[in-house]
Structure 1
Amino acid sequence: MSRNRLFSTLASLFALALGAGAIPSAQAADTAPAPAAAAAPSGVYYEIFVRAWYDTSGDGIGDINGVTAKLDYLKSLGVSGIWLMPINPSPSYHGYDITDYYGINPQYGSMADFQHLIDEAHKRGIAVTMDMVINHTAKDHPWFLDAQKAGDAHRDWYTWSPKRPNLGAMSATDTPIWHAGADGWYIGVFGGHMPDLNYDNPAVRAEMIKVGQYWLGKGVDGFRLDAAKHIYVDFKSDVHSAEALQKNVAWWTEYHDALAKTKPDVTLVGEVSATSPKELAPYLKPLGSIFDFPLAEQLIVSAKSEKSDALGKLLKATYDAYKAAGDTPHIDSTFLSNHDQERVMSRLGGNLDHMRMAAAMLLTLPGRPYIYYGEELGMEGKKPDENLREPMRWTREPGPGESRWKPTSVHQGQLVSVQAEQDDPNSLLNTYRTLISWRAQSSALRDGALDVVATGNPHLFAFWRDDGKQRVLVVHNLSGKAAHWKPSQAMLPKDATVMFKSKPDVALEDRQLNLPAYSTVVLH
C-alpha cells in the first residue's frame, strides 16, 4: 500500500502504517510525516500554560477556549492527557498564588468554558488534570485577609508568631521564611505574597480535600500537586527531617484516600524537588506518582555529552529505591523540563540531534512522560521565569490566535512554529509524533519493566522493556558517529526483527546491529 493511500485511511490505521518507519530527520528526507493520531492511548501528558497557549477572545491572552480549540492538535500529537498550569483566580500572571480555589480566572474564561473543555477533551480520549496549588494561598485570599486579625476563625489556617521571630531564619527554598503581617509574623516559604497554610489544623486539611473533590465532581481527572514536599518541609532545618517527611507522607495518604472515594482512578502527581531517588521514593506510595527530577537532569546531560553510563546507573538506583520504599505499583512521571526550568533546546545549545535523542530516551523509558508545551517545536527559553513561559508559536508570523502576553526573548524565526513544522517530515514536531505513536503501538514501551543492558560502548544506551505480553529491546546511539553492536546469542533471539527505527539505514544484519549517528531502534 502506498503512503498516499495510507494517509487517506482512518486515523487509527496511521500508527500501524508507520510501524517500522523512521523518525523524520535530516538524513531521512523521504520519510512521511508521523500519524495524525495514535491507534491506542500513548500515556503521554502535555503541560500547558493557558496564558501562553491560544487566544480566542482577541485580548492577547491565551484562554480556556483556546485550549479547546487546539485539542485536535494535541490529538494529532498523540497525547493522552493535559496538565493545565493554575487556572484559578490569582493576582499574578502565573497563577501560583490563588485567591479562590473554587473559581476560574476571569482572564481565562468561565466555568462553562472549562466544562466545555473537559467534555471535548474526554470525547477525544484526552484526560484533564489541574494544577492544585495546595501548600499556600495568595496574600489576597479572603482566608488570609481574615487571618490578619488575632482571634479570627481563619487565624490558625496559617502559622503565626506573635513575638518577633528570628528574621534571619531561612526557608527550605533558601529565602527568608518569616514575613510581617498586620498582627505578628507569618510563614511564607515562597515569599510574603504566598503565605503557607497550616496543615496541622484539621479544618485546613478538610477544606483542601473538599476543594479536590469539588473539581473531580466537575469531571477533572486529577491534579498536579504543587510544592508537594513543602507542606511540612518549611524551614531549611526541615529538609532532611524524618519527622517532616513522615507528616508529609501521612497528609498525602489522607488526601489520596479521600479523593479516591470520589474518583477511584484519580491521577495525582507530586512536585517533589529532589536530587536523588531516595528523596523521591517515600512519596510514591501515598501519591501514586511523582516527577522524576534526577532523571530529567540526567537525560539532558546524557544527550549533551553523548554518553550513557551515568544514566544506566541512575535508573538502577531509582528503581532499587522505589522497590525498597514498597511503592509498587507506581508510575514514575518522567519529563525533560517544565515551567520552572531552562528549556531543553536552550540547555542543549540549539543542537537538534541532541534534542531528538533526549526525546527518544524520554519516550522509550518507563513511566508517564510529560512534555512541556513548545518542547516538541524546539522552543528555547532561559531565566527569568517569564522567558520560560513565552507564547506558543502556531504560525510563521504572529497572527490571530497567537498569545501576546509577552514578547519573545529568543527570536528563533519562522521555522520554529507549528505551521512550519507540521507538514515537514524532517521536523522535530514529527519526531515527537512518531515517538509517541511508537509508544501507543507497543504495550511494552508504555507499561513494561526496565532492564538496562551493558553494551561495552559508552555511547550506546540499551535496555529491555517487558510487560509480560511483549518484550522489546531498545537501543539508542547517542553519538555523532555510526556504531555497530553484536548482542550475544543468549541476549537476542535468533528471529529478532526491527519493530521501529528512527532512520532508514538502521539495520540488523547477521545478528549485528548497525546504528547510524543519533539513531534509535526497537527490536522484538
Structure 2
Amino acid sequence: MKRSLIPTVLTVFSLVSCQEKRDVQPVNYWPKAGVTYEIFVQSFYDSNGDGIGDFNGVTQKLDYVEELGADAIWFMPIMPSPTYHKYDVTDYKAVHPDYGTMDDFKNLLAEAHKRDIKIVIDMIINHTSNQHPWFLESKSGRDNPYRDYYVWAQKDTIADYLNKKVITLDSDNIQQWHDPGEGEDFYYGFFWGGMPDLNFDNPKVREEIYEIGRFWLEEIGVDGFRLDAAKHIFPDDRPSDNHEFWKEFRAEMEKIKPDVYLVGEVYDKKEVVAPYLPGLPALFNFDFHYTLLEAFNTENGMILPEKQKEIIDFYQNITSEFIDATISSNHDQPRLLNELGSDPDKQKQAIAVMMSMPGAPYIYYGEEIGMKGIKPDEHIREPFLWDEKDKDSGRATWIESKYSIDGEVTPLAQQREDPNSFFNHYKQLIALRNTNPALAIGSLELPEATFPATIMAYFRNYENQSVFAIHNIGQEEVKIEIPENYTESLFEFGKVGINGSEVVLGPQSSMILEKK
C-alpha cells in the first residue's frame, strides 16, 4: 500500500467515514476506561448574569459535554465555603448559594443522567473550613464535645508531633500548627490555617463522614466521589491506618450504592499509591502527567510507554480491578499548553498519546479549546470562552483573565467551524477511542524493535483487535519499519505517509495502524 504524505490531521469527515465503513458504534467504557470532564462550576457558564458560573449554566451546556464525548463530569467543590476554590467546606450537606440551589443541582443531575453522563463530586474530608460549625465549637474550649473532632496540641508538645512528620511531595511541612488566638493550644492544619485537619481517630468523626457520603449517594443521587488529599487522613507515619480507613469508607459507601465510583488523590510514587487501591479502586496517575511532559520536553519518546507499562504491571499485582485515572492537566497544574511551550501541535499530539494509552482519561475544562494558564491557581481556573467576548453572554466574569483571553485563545464557537481546531481534534480522538476497544480497554505492549530516540511506539491489544500507535515527538523526519500486517490507518496527525513497508513520520506527527 502506498500513500503520499498527509499534511494535516484527520478531518471529522474522514474519521466519521472510517467509523461508518466499519459499522462500529461508540461504546461507553466508564468507569474502567471512559472519559471524565473536570469542571470548575464558577468558571464554566453563567446562566443568570451575576458573573459566576452556576449549576443551571452547566445544565444548559450538557449537550456540549455530550458532543465532546465525555462519559462523566467531575465537579470541583460545590459545597458552601468562604473561599473561591471551596476546598474548605462549612456545610457538607448543602451547595454553595453562588452556584444555585440543591434543586438546581438535582435538576442538573437528572439531565446528565438522561444523557448517560455520570456525576462525580469533590469530597473534601481531610479538613474542614476554620469557619465550619464543628471547628467553631472545637476551639471554644478543651471540654467542648467537638474538641476531639480536630487535632490539638499544647504549645510545649508540638515538637513531639513535628518529630513524627515527614516532608511529602505536596507540602513543605512549614507552619502546619496554627494558633487560634489564645497562644496555648494549637490545631493542626496540613495545608493551611484556614483548613484544620479532622481527627479520624475519633469514631464520631468517621461516622459523620460516612453519613455525609450516604447523604450524597442516597438522597441526592450522585454517582461517586473524588477524594481530596486521600493520603493525609491520618498522620504521615501511619500509612496503614490511611489504607484501612479507605477500605472501610468504600465498604460503607457500597452498602448504599454497590457500583459507587471512588477516585483518590494520592500524590506520590507508585509504591506509595498502590496500597490505597483496595479502598480507592480509581487513583490519579500523576506519574503519567509528569512523564508525558518530560517525554515531549526532552524528545525522549519511549520513557512514557515504558513508565506506563511498569505502573500498570505493578498495580495489577495488587488488584486487577484498579482504574488508572490518567491526566494531562488539572486544576493544580499549569495548563497543558503552557507546559508544552505554547506549541499547539505538541498539545494535539500529547492528547493523541493520552487517548491511545491505557487508562480512564480526565480532561480539564478548557483544555479542549487550548486554554492557557499558570499559577497562582486562580489563573489556571479562568472562565471558559464560549464565543467572542461581545457575543459571549454566558462567560463568567468573577476574575479578570490574564491568559485565556480573546486573541490568545480561540473561543469554542469559532473552533467548531475549523476541522483542525483543538476542539475538533479532542472530539475526534475521543470518538476514535470509543469505537476501538483496543484503544480503550486493550493491554499495553512494548515493541521489541529499537527506534530513534524521538519515537514513542506501543501496541494496544484486545481480543481480536490489535493496533500499533507511533508518535514522532521530535523535529526531524523519521522512517521506521511497519510491523507485519499492520496495514490499515485509523488515525493520522501531521505529515505522515506509508512507503512500502515503511512509515514516514514528519516532525511532530503520529499514526495509529490496525492489524489486518
Instruction: Please give the TM-score of this superposition, normalised by the length of structure 2.
Output: 0.89
TM-fit CA distance, 1:513? 2.2
Stretch moving more, 101-110 or 388-397: 388-397
1:464 aligned onto 2:440: no
Contact 2:285 2:327 in 1 (8 A): yes
Conserved 8 A contact 1:289-1:332: yes
User: For the Cα contact (< 8 Å) 2:469–2:513, is it kept in 1?
Assistant: yes
Task: Check if 1:265 corresponds to 2:255.
Answer: no
Partner of 2:8: 27
Q: Distance in 2 between matches of 1:54 and 1:384?
A: 22
Corresponding residue for 2:315? 322
Alignment of 1:220-235 (within 5 A): 220-233=222-235
Q: Does 1:219 align with 2:221?
A: yes
Q: Aligned in 2, Cα 1:505/1:79: closer, same or farther, shift over 3 Å?
A: same
1:15 corresponds to: none
Q: Which one of the candidate residues 320, 335, 347 is aligned to 1:343?
A: 335
Partner of 2:3: none
CA contact (8 A) 1:209 1:258 kept: yes
Structure 2 SS opposite 1:261: helix
1:519 alignment partner AA? S
The alpha-carbon deviation at position 162 of structure 1 amounts to 3.4
RMSD: 2.2
Matched-pair contact (CA < 8 Å) for 1:227–1:271 = yes
Q: Which runs of 5+ in 2 are unaligned?
A: 1-5, 20-24
Q: Which residue of 1 aligns with 2:501?
A: 511
2:400 is matched with which residue? 407
How far apart in 1 are the matches of 2:73 and 2:15? 20
Deviations 1:486-521 (A, max 9, x none): 14xxxx343x33241224863444332233332222
Deviates most, 44-53 or 295-304: 295-304
Q: Whole-Å Cα distance in 1 between the matches of residues 11 and 286 of structure 2?
A: 37
Per the alignment, residue 91 of structure 2 pairs with 100
- The answer to whether the aligner puts 1:366 opposite 2:358 as a matched pair is yes
Gaps of 5+ in 1: 1-24
Name the residue aligned to 2:271.
278
The answer (yes or no) to whether the contact 2:12–2:428 under 8 Å persists in 1 is no
Task: Give aligned-pair identity as a percent.
Answer: 40
Shift of 1:33: 8.9
Q: State how far apart, in whole Å, the 1-side matches of 2:398 and 2:372 are.
A: 17
Measured in 1, the distance between the counterparts of 2:178 and 2:202 equals 20
The 3-state SS of whatever aligns with 1:287 is: coil
Partner of 1:12: none
Cα distance in structure 1, aligned partners of 2:26 and 2:12? 20
Matched, 1:395 2:376: no
Q: Distance in 1 between matches of 2:404 and 2:155?
A: 51
Q: 1:425 aligns with which of 409, 415, 419?
A: 419
- 2:323 corresponds in structure 1 to 331
Task: Answer yes or no: is 1:355 the counterpart of 2:347.
Answer: yes
Which residue identity is paired with 2:468?
L
Number of the residue aligned with 2:127: 136
- Give a deviation string over 1:94-115, Cα, whole Å, max 9, x none: 0000000000100000111111
Answer whether contact 2:457 2:469 (CA < 8 A) is retained.
Answer: yes
Alignment partner, residue 39 of structure 1: 26
Task: Confirm or deny that 1:51 pairs with 2:42.
Answer: yes
- In the alignment, the residues of structure 2 paired with residue 187 and residue 375 of structure 1 have an alpha-carbon distance, to the nearest angstrom, of 36
SS at match of 1:458: coil
Structure 2 residue aligned with 1:114: 105
Q: 1:83 aligns with which of 59, 70, 74?
A: 74
**Aligned in 2, Cα 1:213/1:482: closer, same or farther, shift over 3 Å?**
same
Task: Say whether residues 1:253 and 2:253 are aligned partners.
Answer: no
Structure 2 counterpart of 1:190 = 191
Match of 2:492 among 502, 514, 521: 502
8 Å contact from structure 1 (residues 304, 354) kept in 2: no
In the alignment, what sits opposite 2:22?
none
Write out per-residue CA displacement over residues 277-298 of structure 1, whole angstroms, 9 at most, x where no aligned residue: 2222222232001111111011
- What is the DSSP-based 3-state SS (H/G/I as helix, E as strand, rest coil) of the residue aligned with 1:430? helix
Give the distance between the partners of 2:15 and 2:51, measured in 1 at CA.
31
Q: Which residue of 1 aligns with 2:468?
A: 473
Go from structure 1 to structure 2 and tell me whether the alpha carbon gap of 1:396 and 1:480 turns closer, same or farther (over 3 Å shift): farther
Q: What letter matches 1:256 in structure 2? A: R
> CA shift at 1:327, angstroms?
2.2
Tell me how far apart the structure 2 counterparts of residues 197 and 30 of structure 1 sit (CA, whole Å): 52
Deviation string, structure 1 residues 414-444 (Cα, Å, up to 9, x no partner): 4521112111111111111111111110111
Report the CA distance between 1:262 and its aligned residue: 1.1
| Corresponding residue SS for 1:291 | strand
Q: Aligned residue for 1:5?
A: none
